[in-house]
Structure 1
Amino acid sequence: MKTLYSKFLWTTLFIMIGSAFAGFLLSNLYYQNELKPENDTKNTKIALQMAAYGETEKSLEDFLEHTASTGYQLYLFSEKEGEQYFGRSFNEHNLPASAVSRVIEGDIYHGMRDFPKETFVTGFFANELRNTVGVPLTYEGTRYALFMRPDIELLFNELHILLAWMVAAIVLLSLAAMLIWSGLIIHPIRKLTAAVNKVGEEGFGVYLKVTRKDEIGQLARRFNDMITRLGKLDEMRKSFVSNVSHDIRTPLSNIQGYSRLLENDNLPHAERQKYLAVIQEEAERMSALSSQLLTLSSLSPEEENIKKSPVDVSGQLKQLIRRYHWRIDEAGMSISYNLDEMICLGNEALLYTVWENLLTNAIKYNSTEGTISIQGTATADEINVSITDCGIGLSEEEQEQVFDRFYRADQARSRSVPGTGLGLSIVKEIIDLHDGSVHLHSEPGSGSTFLVTLPRL
């Protein structure tokens, strides 16, 4: 398997080699088009000066020997004396005879300027006789052709060594630095990979220590946040399964127990009716639980295809008040309401479920002969619906969990109150689907107020 580290290493080497190759091509292109003509012109001037001084010297050979020792390679030709070399010899003696003849006749030879262009060869370092400049020289009545080029090895030998060591040091140090730096970059990714594997093996008790401020640090922090959320979701899932199992097992046990009691043929009629009523209540409880679970499973924060239309919220609330008025009267409670005209864009059935759950919740947990108040107001941008009871109220700790699935405040006290513990979680998810909010204000013994805010149409 190719690791990220090996990919980074090979990519670095490829970039370094590619950069060196591209740099050589560009520098060679620059030399061919810019430096080579300038170099030819400069050396032509020097050669002409050599010829001018040589013509006045007592000994031409001594002058050329001395000049060559200062860093030049010289080739002198005359038809009378033949050819002579001064300084370091040329690697290739490939100067055309026609070029020599033209220089003797008085022309100037521009071998450096006209040296053939090659992609991978820099002509500046080509130690060839044709890569010279040639000028005519007349000494004591004899015409000569003088060809000259700088002795690159003599001039640049130490510089070449210095540059070679410098380039090698830069390459090695850069490579070492990149290897170390890549290791520092890859290390937290390896830790993250190990943490992911550990999550798969051991669960969600994994936490990464994060000190970095870069993208990898952000990734590690996101991983920690994700693990925390997944851990909570896992706990909620386990709690969900446990609560569903408990809420199903309890009515089933009651139904099973009372069914066995009904098998007694000598059971009095009144007792039989009592047991049948219990069985019916438990069956209705299971039916309500299954209905709530189906509603909850159909809701999702990512759900975008719920059918929305203009909804008359005040009309829905008035309809609910009429529907539950008998139950409120039967419990000895009273209800008051003050509703503005409130229209929002939403799913009529789901919003009706919200108001019904909040109203039945207020009825169930209200005090005897208590009051229920429903207030609805509309502003330019939103509608606000508050439902207040005078019931048992909730502590701050209970308020933090009241919208969790299956949560019922004070479990021992709530057993006598029918319900599944899903109503408020359904309310929360429906309101979230409508881009609204629901808040609870409550104090123990002073009742509770649920405030729902929705965008106004």
Structure 2
Amino acid sequence: MTRTLYFRIVLTFIGIVILSCIVSFFVSGQLFKREATAQMLDDMLQSGQTMIQLLKEPDLKKPELYLIRMANQSNYAVTIYNTNGEVRKYDTLPRDNIRPIPNQTIQEVLSGEIYYSANQLMPVAPDQAYVGLPYEQDGKKYALFIQPNFEVRNKQLYLLPITVISIIIGIGSIMTFLLSRFIVNPITKLAEATLEMSTGNFNVQVPIRRSDELGLLAQSFNHMAGELRQLEQMRQDFISNVSHEIQSPLTSIRGFSEALKEPAMNHKERLHYLEIIETESERLSRMVDNLLRLTSLESGQQPNPAELFDLDEELRKVVIVNHLLLMQKEIEYDLFLPKTKIIGNKDQLFQIWTNLIHNSIKYTPKGGYMYIKIKKDGNYVRIRFTDTGVGIPPEDQAHIFERFYKVDKSRDRSVGGNGLGLAIVKKIVEIHQGKIELESEVGKGTTVTILLPSSNAS
């Protein structure tokens, strides 16, 4: 309990409040002590003058009673001296802490001088402050001295500040408890959510709606949880897809390998089964190669040497390489390839052109049409691949560049695809700080546009 952040914040705040009140009390006391003493001396002077008037009032019976009442109410010790050495006390207050008045001062006042300790050059201590007033009555000289009773006055003087400080500490403590919970509770929720996330539960969310730093921290945590949740889903999908893609050719290879063991199988059937095993092995090899290539691109381990080369020549080269496939499916094609130089990784970009032209050939029916065009467009160079293939449904277009995503799994398998080609294309485009656009309509065809920024073009 004592090690919790909540306890430490509460204890720190209360300590600050108490320390501030104590320091303020003593500092203010020192600052106002002299002024308070001067005000007290003025009050004693006025009280003394009032008392002398009462003593001289001829019609007032027993003025001594009024003096005692005034002295007790004001917490002043009132003493009257005469020339005969007589001393009369007009109060009922304890005098244990009242210092005796020096005889020299008494004689000075009896001779007609007014003693006012604030007139001294050096600041007077409160317990040394008193007032002496001379007066005459019935031909006799008297000296009236008024002294403060500090035991009583200090109790009254410090009662109010102590009460105020106690109230401040009490209210401050309550507010500290409440505010500390307001501060600590979100941190506690974050700690609980972090612990929950460490167990593998990425669906956790921190329900904090605040606009301060803690609210920003909660939003960042929720965003992080969402990203981790998405990564975990991608990881699970990746494992599932890889397992499925590997399992399919392995199942075929195992099945036809078992069939080859049959002694009654003729030579023609045996060659046919061997061709199927070879095809499935090649498909498995391509998938592994694509996985390694994509992993290398995403990890940044693959070098990216940039060089200046002729983009139009590279596109003509990829068409020439795939000319036989185009002829086999009787696909007509047009090329609009003006002289264009770009800066980039020639080998990586060649993978893009190869993937795109292979997709066009795969998914364009026999007797279809394909069109490749280069166009300089402002800050970009556009490389457009257009075909009259089967097209991509609108609901699939947003996912077509995701790894292992297939629009039609049965169709894809028949043409040897594994759902990694376009993911590789997108990654290479991103490495070259470019963009990729897709336009497609089912039954009419697809257009894929690669945009390279002007920094890569010349």
TM-score tier by shorter-chain length is 0.7 to 0.9
Of residues 399, 404, 407 in structure 1, which corresponds to 2:405?
407
Of residues 178, 181, 184 in structure 2, which corresponds to 1:183?
181
Q: Which runs of 5+ in 2 are unaligned?
A: 58-62
Counterpart for residue 309 of structure 1 = 306
Counterpart for residue 38 of structure 1 = 35
- What's the offset of the Cα at 1:293? 1.0
| Aligned equivalents of 2:252, 2:347: Cα separation in 1 | 33
Of residues 109, 123, 126 in structure 1, which corresponds to 2:117?
109
Matched AA of 1:317 = L
8 Å Cα contact 1:103-1:109 kept in structure 2: no
| Aligned equivalents of 1:318, 1:393: Cα separation in 2 | 24
- What's the offset of the Cα at 1:160? 6.9
8 Å Cα contact 1:393-1:446 kept in structure 2: yes
Counterpart for residue 74 of structure 1 = 77
| Aligned equivalents of 1:265, 1:42: Cα separation in 2 | 127
Counterpart for residue 92 of structure 1 = 97
| Aligned equivalents of 1:52, 1:305: Cα separation in 2 | 104
Would the alpha carbon gap of residues 148 and 377 (structure 1) be closer, same or farther in structure 2, given more than 3 Å must change?
A: farther
Structure possessing the higher radius of gyration over alpha carbons: 2
| Aligned equivalents of 2:39, 2:279: Cα separation in 1 | 111
Counterpart for residue 283 of structure 2 = 285
Counterpart for residue 122 of structure 1 = none
Superposed CA deviations along residues 34-90 of structure 1, whole A, max 9, x for unmatched, are x23333333343444455555664289667535424424135475823584646345
How many residue pairs align between the two structures? 439
Counterpart for residue 421 of structure 2 = 423
Bigger CA drift: 424-433 or 339-348?
Answer: 339-348
Could you say what secondary structure the match of 2:381 adopts? Answer: strand
Superposed CA deviations along residues 201-255 of structure 1, whole A, max 9, x for unmatched, are 5734445556555555555454444444333322221221122122223323333
- What's the offset of the Cα at 1:361? 1.8
Counterpart for residue 13 of structure 1 = 14
- What's the offset of the Cα at 1:270? 4.6
| Aligned equivalents of 1:441, 1:263: Cα separation in 2 | 50
Of residues 126, 129, 132 in structure 1, which corresponds to 2:127?
129
Matched AA of 1:109 = S
Would the alpha carbon gap of residues 100 and 448 (structure 1) be closer, same or farther in structure 2, given more than 3 Å must change?
A: farther
Matched AA of 1:447 = G
| Aligned equivalents of 1:75, 1:341: Cα separation in 2 | 117
- What's the offset of the Cα at 1:337? 2.8
| Aligned equivalents of 1:202, 1:305: Cα separation in 2 | 32
Could you say what secondary structure the match of 1:129 adopts? Answer: helix
Q: Which runs of 5+ in 1 are unaligned?
A: 117-127
Bigger CA drift: 228-237 or 92-101?
Answer: 92-101
Could you say what secondary structure the match of 1:373 adopts? Answer: strand
| Aligned equivalents of 1:103, 1:431: Cα separation in 2 | 107
Identity fraction in percent: 28
Bigger CA drift: 205-214 or 400-409?
Answer: 205-214
Could you say what secondary structure the match of 1:439 adopts? Answer: strand
Counterpart for residue 368 of structure 1 = 366
| Aligned equivalents of 1:29, 1:169: Cα separation in 2 | 19
| Aligned equivalents of 1:50, 1:73: Cα separation in 2 | 9
Matched AA of 2:445 = G
| Aligned equivalents of 1:314, 1:241: Cα separation in 2 | 39
Matched AA of 1:146 = F
| Aligned equivalents of 1:90, 1:345: Cα separation in 2 | 104
| Aligned equivalents of 1:99, 1:324: Cα separation in 2 | 128
Of residues 346, 350, 353 in structure 1, which corresponds to 2:351?
353
8 Å Cα contact 1:64-1:74 kept in structure 2: no
| Aligned equivalents of 1:448, 1:134: Cα separation in 2 | 109
| Aligned equivalents of 1:387, 1:266: Cα separation in 2 | 50
Would the alpha carbon gap of residues 171 and 36 (structure 1) be closer, same or farther in structure 2, given more than 3 Å must change?
A: closer
Counterpart for residue 172 of structure 1 = 170
Superposed CA deviations along residues 112-159 of structure 1, whole A, max 9, x for unmatched, are 98356xxxxxxxxxxx732x24345354564637344487957984x9
- What's the offset of the Cα at 1:414? 1.7
Counterpart for residue 331 of structure 2 = 333
Matched AA of 1:432 = E
Bigger CA drift: 398-407 or 278-287?
Answer: 278-287
Counterpart for residue 144 of structure 1 = 143
Q: Which residues of 2 match residues 270-281 of structure 1 at below 5 A?
A: 270-281=268-279
Matched AA of 1:409 = V
8 Å Cα contact 1:103-1:134 kept in structure 2: no
TM-score normalised by length of structure 1: 0.78
Q: Which residues of 2 match residues 46-61 of structure 1 at below 5 A?
A: 46-52=43-49, 57-58=55-56
| Aligned equivalents of 2:117, 2:334: Cα separation in 1 | 114
Counterpart for residue 65 of structure 1 = 68
Would the alpha carbon gap of residues 17 and 407 (structure 1) be closer, same or farther in structure 2, given more than 3 Å must change?
A: same
| Aligned equivalents of 2:343, 2:203: Cα separation in 1 | 43
- What's the offset of the Cα at 1:164? 5.7
| Aligned equivalents of 2:134, 2:226: Cα separation in 1 | 91
| Aligned equivalents of 2:380, 2:222: Cα separation in 1 | 37
Could you say what secondary structure the match of 2:398 adopts? Answer: helix
8 Å Cα contact 2:357-2:385 kept in structure 1: yes
Would the alpha carbon gap of residues 346 and 136 (structure 1) be closer, same or farther in structure 2, given more than 3 Å must change?
A: farther
8 Å Cα contact 1:382-1:454 kept in structure 2: yes
Residue 3 of structure 1 pairs with residue 4 of structure 2: yes
